[in-house]
Amino acid sequence: MKLDYLLLDVFTRKRLTGNQLAVVPRADGLLDDEMQAIAREFNLSETVFILKPQVERNTAAVRIFTPYQELPFAGHPTVGAAVALGLSSRASAVRLEEKVGIVTALFEKHDRRSGEARFSLPRLPARLASLDDRLGLAQALGIEVEDIGCGAYRPAVFSAGVTFHLVPVRDASVLRRITVNRLCWNDVFHHEHQSAYVFTLTPDENDNDLAARMFGMGLGEDPGTGSAAAALIGLLAEQAPLASGQADFILRQGHEMGRPCRITLQLRKENDVLVHGAIGGDAVVVGEGVLDLDD
């Protein structure tokens, strides 16, 4: 069995930056353990498998795997899959069947190897818990207790399909100083996936509003995490200075790793209730090949 694959850099227009993604465009017939083994072989943060949709009016079904597990939803595989499908079909929108639900992504082509995708969240972020152990958070991240918090933002656990511990810190210099303490990590970040999304406001930076780093999920540090950005929309909505209306943000991630990513976030509230969330970004094809799985 031979399978074509694409390699994309996501949340960037510049090759060899952003978050890497493997896409297997015609994955029908693969068993779950075969998809997991292929994702482990690529050893990227995620590999996405594109299959025929179960419902005819949808564009494709999508399965998302890290090297260790399947995810019901992830942002950079969704953007990458939408761009790959848009480039091959010239469609301006694609409907993807994901484990979390139907995701409709709008696609805009930049050139024959790159484009942009934006999609509404199939599940709005929900607050799961507060994180009150500031000393534990500081110890796990190798920073000071007084570094925890940014303006009105306080640590909390949110999920828009995948659970993240959201930890605001004082400024971008604190982000740069983070040193993961594995000895206490799982005790502090004890919710599903043990992953922490550490973020701050960036009022002194011209190109973005927020900066973030993501640690956990067995990946070490991830350069661009759309599902975490989706969860962050929930915390942003709580503090957004509007009862009804729309707010847009640009978030940078991966700069400390040398893999800069740019993620767009959007939220809309009605009567002080979050009713819409969306994320998006660019993606560019950097390579393609064939998996030779014949015995």
Per-residue pLDDT tens digits for 71-82: 999 999 999 999
pLDDT of the residue at 63: 98
Shared domain check, 225 and 185: yes
pLDDT of the residue at 193: 84
- Please write the tens of the pLDDT for every residue from 23-72: 999 999 999 999 999 999 999 999 999 999 999 999 999 999 999 999 99
Shared domain check, 144 and 272: yes
Shared domain check, 271 and 162: yes
Segments forming the whole domain that contains residue 114: 2-120+282-292
Q: Say whether pTM exceeds 0.75.
A: yes
The model's confidence at residue 108, banded by pLDDT at 50, 70 and 90, is very high
- Please write the tens of the pLDDT for every residue from 231-256: 999 999 999 999 999 999 999 999 99
Shared domain check, 221 and 81: no
pLDDT of the residue at 1: 86
Please compute, for residue 263, the number of CA atoms within 13 A of its CA located in the half-sphere on the CB side.
34
Shared domain check, 204 and 109: no
Check which CATH number belongs to the domain holding 8 and give it. 3.10.310.10
Residues serving a catalytic function are 46
Residue 88 pLDDT greater than 80, yes or no? yes
pLDDT of the residue at 18: 98
The model's confidence at residue 280, banded by pLDDT at 50, 70 and 90, is very high
- Please write the tens of the pLDDT for every residue from 115-161: 999 999 999 999 999 999 999 999 999 999 999 999 999 999 999 99
- Please write the tens of the pLDDT for every residue from 172-222: 999 999 999 999 999 999 998 899 999 999 999 999 999 999 998 877 999
Residue 267 pLDDT greater than 80, yes or no? yes
pLDDT of the residue at 278: 98
Count how many domains the chain has: 2
Shared domain check, 141 and 107: no
Shared domain check, 99 and 12: yes
Shared domain check, 138 and 276: yes
Shared domain check, 246 and 175: yes
Shared domain check, 166 and 91: no
Shared domain check, 208 and 169: yes
Shared domain check, 147 and 78: no
